[in-house]
Structure 1
Amino acid sequence: MSTPAETDSPAPGWDIRPATGRDWPAIWEILEPVIRAGETFTWDRDTTEHQARERWFKQAPGQTFVAAGRGEFEGAVLGTGELHANQGGGGSHVANAGYLVAPAHGGKGVARALCAYSLDAARAAGFRAMQFNAVVESNVRAVAAWQSLGFEILATIPDAFLHPRLGYVGLHLMYRNL
């Protein structure tokens, strides 16, 4: 029997699943404008498509995944994420991840769902914690979303990111145990 909360709220219009090579054109369509804008990712703004694909697709125990649309958005990639070890060797038990959402689907909970998926996937892969090394402090929606999922800001590195409009802003180091 369903509880009122379960029946009152509709299921999201997406499923999160591992990405395949066939997803790359849609992932690139989301990723490229973010790279070129230079406002939230620390990647070189002239990263090529080939370089981006090699960097975004991860090997086990990491993975790359997508939020694939259902219903009205059937077949569309609404967002994407990637999960990997933050460091090698003695630091390989801490995960790191990144997420991107198609502009038309921003503010609908897709990024939060991608992060929640990656937390579960990281736990299942044996990681003990997740760390975000470089969350641009002016990306307040992302900061709030990650905090709502239990991440805390451990430090802010002042003036560590050159934002194309705002000038130098800080980068947050965010962390949570799994």
Structure 2
Amino acid sequence: MEFRLVYEGPLHGQGAKSPHKWEIRRALHPQLQRLWQTQRPLREQAAHLLAHPALPDRPSLIIEKGGLLFAPLVSPKLDLYAEISVLLLRQQPRGQLITDGGDIDNRLKTLLDGLRVPHGSNEGRSEPPEPADPSPFFCLLEDDALVSKVTVESDQLLRPAPPDEVVAIISIHVKKTTLTPLNMAL
């Protein structure tokens, strides 16, 4: 299965705080939710893959953390992993050192953290936001260890924007570690 996600907004580098990672998760949730609604293999399996509690003899992808339910697509429960390619459009011209917002490595780590289910109960979420977070909260990854390959290309964003704002076009290739009846259609 291959698809793209788009993130537009600030992308902080080194020392990015957990609330920033939550902003990224919230920005990507509607796209992942739509993927589950529009992609036939996901739509057809959603009733049991998104069941909480899990149905008898059927795995559920739902993970409960800090009172929230998360629905990661890429999970060892389905024997899946991901390869990710990111086109990172930023304010600085190609070839110019990044002086605002952090270096590419640290920005990429922040983006990957925003693609996964949070570690710990709330991972720095101090209080519930208004409006409340969705349930289930769709994420790409159960854990960023499920990413086997990452490539990044950086180029200049040719529209006015704050120095730390980016447009990230994230290409995802979901792959199987083992072919099973549950992941065969993905």
Q: One fold, TM greater than 0.5?
A: no
Which is helix-richer, 1 or 2? 1
Which structure is higher in RCO with an 8 Å CA cutoff and minimum separation 6? 2
